[in-house]
Structure 1
Amino acid sequence: MATGNQARKSLFSILLRVALLLLVAGALIAFFFGEAIAGYSDVGTGYAARQACGCVYIAGQDIDSCYADLTPDMWPIWLSQDADAQSVSASIPLIASEEATYREGYGCVLEPYSR
């Protein structure tokens, strides 16, 4: 019959193995699909930033209502607004980030092109 210490060691061993398995699986996914994930993330955040910028500064809506303009598979994207700079940032944490700025006469422009 297992004692309390043996049960805890067994549980710790199982959790350690599961964590190691998840780490290895994540590393394999990043190795084989990292470039595709980064590419799709850059395009998705750029699209979301531009859409949300138009939603806020052209349509005059609240930033929280702009999530409805995105497709359901864009759920990991976070939107944030900088009212002083009239810009909206879209990001997937630790993966990709883009910013769109409203310019009079041009509309919403992605940040590398607004300078």
Structure 2
Amino acid sequence: MLLTLAAGGWLGLRYSTTGKQAQLATGYIAHVVCSCRYVGGRDMASCETDREPGTEVVQIEDDTAKRTVTARVPLLSSRTARFDPEYGCALDPP
């Protein structure tokens, strides 16, 4: 029963307005930070200054070997932006 309630709560939060905002925020941050790192050639400390107020909850993971940036809001959303030398940064499909 507790598992059912937890799953229902998670689904409700995931598909609520909060879940949609998390998806928007993770996509935005992944793209901005990827562009900063791999198009602009800046370090992560410098890229942190490009974040909009209110996006502090979004966690960032930079994979330099794959040239990807993944942004996450735990349990709600995760998006990855990938650098291509010809096209720049683009979000992977959700």
TM-score for both structures, normalised by structure 1:
0.66
Q: Structure 1 vs Structure 2: percent identity of aligned residues?
A: 29
Q: CA deviation at 1:84?
A: 1.0
Pairs within 5 Å for 1:75-90: 75-90=56-71
Give unmatched runs, 5+ long, in structure 2.
Answer: 1-7
Tell me how many residue pairs correspond in the alignment.
86
**Please, what TM-score do these two structures have when normalized by structure 2?**
0.80
CA distance in 1: counterparts of 2:26 and 2:68, whole angstroms: 14
Query: 1:34 deviation in Å?
Result: 5.0
The structure that is helix-richer by fraction is: 1
Q: How does 1:19-58 map to 2 (within 5 A)?
A: 31=12, 35-58=16-39
Q: How much has 1:62 moved relative to structure 2? A: 1.1
Specify which structure has the bigger relative contact order, considering alpha-carbon pairs within 8 angstroms and separated by 6 or more residues. 2
Aligned with residue 45 of structure 2, among 26, 48, 64: 64
CA RMSD of aligned residues (A): 2.3
After TM superposition, what 4+ stretches of structure 1 lie above 3 angstroms from structure 2?
Answer: 30-34
More strand by share: 2
Q: Letter of the aligned partner of 1:71 in structure 2?
A: E
Whether the aligned pair in 2 keeps the contact of 1:63 and 1:80 (CA below 8 Å) is no
1:103 and 1:35, CA in 2 relative to 1: closer, same or farther beyond 3 A? same
**CA 1:84–1:35: 2 relative to 1, 3 Å:** same
